[in-house]
């Protein structure tokens, strides 16, 4: 979030929820009252969740809008300075990465790829990726679950047990990939 960088605040984004017209961030940052007031000026909504955590809804910057419209999954976000944000992304293909980088370049955003690695072991199938992405975007994994397994299954056109199996296999592969990268 550029607003935090402009305030000179070091922050770590714990969660991010991309939407068509807005972006929600749960951010770990030490903000004094003056900084919190300044942050509220540039945001749609700001709620202090604790001493060092805030929930911020913005209209979404160009990067958030591009991420939302692309087929990537945001794994991690770290504010690294006034004009720098580091994203860890799960990208289904190099073509998808190139398209995202092209969109960023067209929008005037300088992007640098720090590293690229492939899923270890058995890759997620295209269907698993599609279902996992749809479940994520529709709020299935949100704490206040926006859609049930049954509703999501109906939307996709499969039975709930089938969807549960697809999600279980996709999540197993995604978790294995994540754990392999963090060890």
Whether 70 and 101 map to the same domain: the answer is yes
Range of the domain at 53: 2-106
CA angle 169, 179, 174 (to 5 degrees): 30
Q: Which DSSP state fits 109?
A: -
Q: How confident is the model at residue 149 (pLDDT cuts 50, 70, 90)?
A: very high
**13 or 112, greater pLDDT:** 112
Report whether pLDDT(82) > 70: no
Q: Which of 153, 177, 146 is nearest to 167 (CA)?
A: 153
CB 133 within 8 Å of CB 152: no
Q: Distance of CA 55 to CAs 51, 65, 70, 102, Å?
A: 12, 19, 24, 30
Whether 158 and 94 map to the same domain: the answer is no
Residue 80: the pLDDT is 73
Whether 97 and 134 map to the same domain: the answer is no
d(CA 153, CA 41): 41
pLDDT in tens, 96-128: 899 999 999 999 999 999 888 775 556 788 889
Domain closes at, from 51, 76, 106: 106
Both structure tokens of 111: 């992007």
Whether 19 and 86 map to the same domain: the answer is yes
For residue 79, the tally of other CB atoms under 10 A from its CB is: 21
Report the pLDDT averaged over residues 81-110.
Answer: 87
pTM score above 0.75:
no
Residue 164: the pLDDT is 93
Report whether pLDDT(83) > 80: no
Residue 89: the pLDDT is 87
Residue 119: inside a domain: no
High-pLDDT (> 90) share of the chain, % = 26
Residue 163: inside a domain: yes
pLDDT in tens, 23-48: 888 888 888 888 888 888 878 888 88
């Amino acid at each position: 979030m550029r607003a935090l960088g402009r305030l000179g605040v070091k922050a770590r984004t714990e969660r991010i929820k991309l939407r068509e017209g807005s972006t929600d961030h749960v951010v770990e940052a030490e903000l004094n009252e003056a900084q919190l007031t300044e942050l509220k000026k540039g945001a749609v909504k700001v709620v202090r969740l604790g001493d060092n955590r805030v929930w911020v809804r913005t209209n979404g910057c160009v990067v958030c809008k591009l991420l939302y419209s692309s087929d990537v999954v945001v794994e991690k976000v770290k504010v690294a300075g006034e004009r720098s944000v580091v994203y860890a992304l799960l990208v289904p293909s190099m073509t998808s990465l190139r398209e995202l980088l092209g969109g960023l370049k067209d929008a005037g955003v300088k992007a640098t790829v720090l590293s690229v690695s492939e899923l270890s072991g058995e890759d997620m199938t295209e269907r698993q990726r599609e279902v996992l992405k749809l479940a994520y975007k529709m709020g299935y994994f949100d704490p206040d679950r926006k859609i049930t397994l049954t509703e999501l299954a109906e939307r996709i056109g499969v039975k709930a047990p089938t969807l549960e199996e697809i999600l279980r296999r996709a999540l197993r592969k995604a978790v294995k990939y994540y754990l392999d990268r963090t060890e």
